[in-house]
Amino acid sequence: MKTLLTILSLLLTITLVKSQRMYNASGKQIGRIDGNYFYDGSGHLIGRTDKNYLYDSSGHQIGRTDNNYLYNGSGKQIERTDGKYFYNGSGRLIGKVNGSYLYDEIGHLIGRSDGLKRREIILFFYFYL
């Protein structure tokens, strides 16, 4: 689970028209994104985006993005991406997105999406799982 939490980064502005679903490696639905709002597998609101800022369900800022870099709520850089691969703050490879599938640093499947763009997949897994 720790690897799953450290895989994700990169969000520009999310503009989804319809609800999209996220699944774990076993195929169980673990959440959905509806516009700028994020829900867990039970349908409870767990966060939202506003421009490049990320908020939890209580409205507290928990992160932001700037180009290919992801920052936590305190402004510390915690990840970067080159588009397909993701690296932690020390530059170590921690995962990749290939199409709708998300893999950890050694190539194990850890999740997939139903029609989401790469940045939405990353954002959901990193901040809300």
> Which pLDDT score is estimated for 13?
27
Confidence (pLDDT) at 112: 85
Which pLDDT score is estimated for 54?
Answer: 87
**Boundaries of domain holding 54:** 2-128
Q: What is the structure's pLDDT at 10? A: 27
pLDDT digit string (tens) for the chain, length 129 residues: 333 333 333 222 233 334 688 888 899 988 888 888 889 889 999 888 888 898 989 999 988 888 788 888 888 888 888 878 888 888 888 888 888 888 988 999 988 887 777 667 766 666 655
Q: Do the bridges between strand 101-104 and strand 109-114 make them parallel or antiparallel, or are there none, so unpaired?
A: antiparallel
Quote the CA–CA distance of 64 and 67 in Å, as a whole number.
10
Given this model, what pLDDT does residue 11 score? 29
Domain count, the chain: 1
CA distances from 20 to 3, 31, 45, 54, 71 (A): 23, 9, 14, 18, 25
- What's the confidence (pLDDT) of residue 119? 67
Query: What does pLDDT average to over the chain?
Result: 77
